[in-house]
Amino acid sequence: MSTVQNVVRRPWFRGTLLAAVVVAAVAGTAAPASAHTSFLSSSPEAGSVVTEQPGTISVTTTDDLLVLGEEVTGMAVQVSGPAGSDQPLYYGDGCVTVSGATAATEVQLGTPGEYTVTWKVIAADSHPLDGQFTFTWEPAPGQELAEGSTEAPTCSGADAAGSPVPVDALWIGGAVVAALLAGVVTLVMVVRRRPEPPAGPTSGTPTDLPSGPSAGPPAA
């Protein structure tokens, strides 16, 4: 049998190989993607003119957004305006609903003018994104105008100016746990396959008999 085959057949080698596979698999899923998610589009479009109540304002990215369980945490959309007024007002509650790569918030606009949308989301690869865009509100006749608020809206304790949830810690913690688990698996495999020590002489077996040739019959 070749030297390579001898090494491959050894328990410590197989255990180490298994550990390496587990760690590599976890690292591949836990590490953020090399090409981070980026902003794709918005509704309404930046710089556009809106003549009817939009109902919702949304931001779409190039990849899905991160949702932990049923909660949308660390994301928000704020709509304020109109620009140039003595006291710009905020519209909507700043909360978002996520569907795939799109984050949306319900908004009814007020006084005509230029409005600013400030948004913040977290991509599925844990990469935070934020930005701003503006659009012009020129309501057509018959459009009902909303009353704004002087205070910036918050939702679940997060607003568009706050800090995102540190979701990187979740990925790092998972990788550490997987590495520890791989080490335990390796140790168990090595211990279970360790050869037993050779057994000693059986009890009662005579060991002090002479080793020379047997004595012949007595001489006549």
Long-range contacts of 104-107 (CB under 8 A, 24+ apart): 104/56, 104/57, 104/58, 104/59, 104/77, 105/56, 105/57, 105/58, 105/76, 105/77, 105/79, 106/55, 106/56, 107/54, 107/55, 107/56, 107/57, 107/79
pLDDT tens, position by position, 112-155? 999 999 999 999 988 999 999 999 999 999 999 999 999 988 87
Go through the domains of the chain in sequence order and give each one's CATH number.
39-156 (2.60.40.1220)
pTM: 0.59
Residue 23 has pLDDT above 90, yes or no: no
| Amino acid 137: pLDDT | 98
